[in-house]
């Protein structure tokens, strides 16, 4: 049994906006492909023709179409925000790094080094692993210098 497809009909202003997106090279390539797909959908081309012409898979084709019907043109063109990876260095860890750097240097050393701070953080079980570069960035952000 095949899907019943809804015909997509764009207004003149939507067509003009999509044409301007496809003609100008200032947009992201994914946005241009979505705009071209919507224009081809409006022209009445089949799913397979659109997929082969634009080099997209069926998932992308159906997502573009579904997002247009659900939220209009802007929803179909723009990407949804992504959650991303949570930051590994929290405010609490930043405070701990700063407090270690501001404390007296360990015995046998004239001053704190990035490696010494790194070792201290790991031995105190504040974090399992951290790079010296991350520690340097935290200290730079706090306006501290080990030199």
Which helix (H) or strand (E) covers residue 36, if one does?
A: helix 29-43
Same domain, 64 and 95: no
Q: How many domains would you assign to the chain?
A: 2
Assigned domain for 123 exists: yes
Please state, in angstroms and rounded to a whole number, the distance separating the CA atoms of residues 138 and 23. 44
6 within some domain: no
How far does Cα 10 stand from its chain's mean position? 30
Find the helix packing angle between 47-54 and 29-43, rounded to 10°. Answer: 150
125 and 97 co-located in one domain? yes
Of the candidates 36, 54, 77, which is a domain's last residue? 77
Domain carrying residue 19:
12-77
Does residue 23 lie within any of the structural domains? yes
Residue 37 pLDDT: 95
Q: Which residues of the chain have pLDDT under 70?
A: 1-4, 147
Domain end, chosen from 44, 77, 110, is at 77
Q: Which tokens hold the place of 82?
A: 């992504």
What is the pLDDT, as a whole number, of residue 85?
85
Residue 52 included in any domain? yes
pTM for this prediction = 0.58
Q: Is 46 exposed, middle or buried (0-12, 13-18, 19+ CB in 10 A)?
A: exposed
Query: Final residue of a domain: which of 77, 102, 128?
Result: 77
């Amino acid at each position: 049994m095949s899907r019943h497809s809804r015909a997509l009909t764009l207004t003149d202003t939507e067509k003009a906006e999509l044409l301007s997106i496809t003609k100008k090279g200032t947009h992201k390539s994914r946005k241009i492909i979505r705009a071209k797909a919507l224009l081809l959908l409006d022209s009445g081309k089949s799913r397979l023709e659109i997929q082969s012409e634009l080099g997209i898979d069926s998932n992308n084709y159906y997502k573009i179409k579904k997002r247009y019907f659900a939220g209009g043109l802007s929803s179909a063109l723009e990407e949804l925000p992504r959650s991303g990876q949570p930051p590994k260095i929290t405010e609490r860890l930043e405070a701990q790094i700063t407090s270690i750097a501001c404390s007296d240097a360990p015995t046998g050393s004239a001053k704190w080094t990035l490696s010494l701070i790194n070792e201290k953080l790991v031995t105190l079980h504040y974090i399992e692993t951290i790079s010296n570069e991350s520690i340097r960035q935290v200290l730079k952000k706090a306006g501290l210098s080990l030199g």
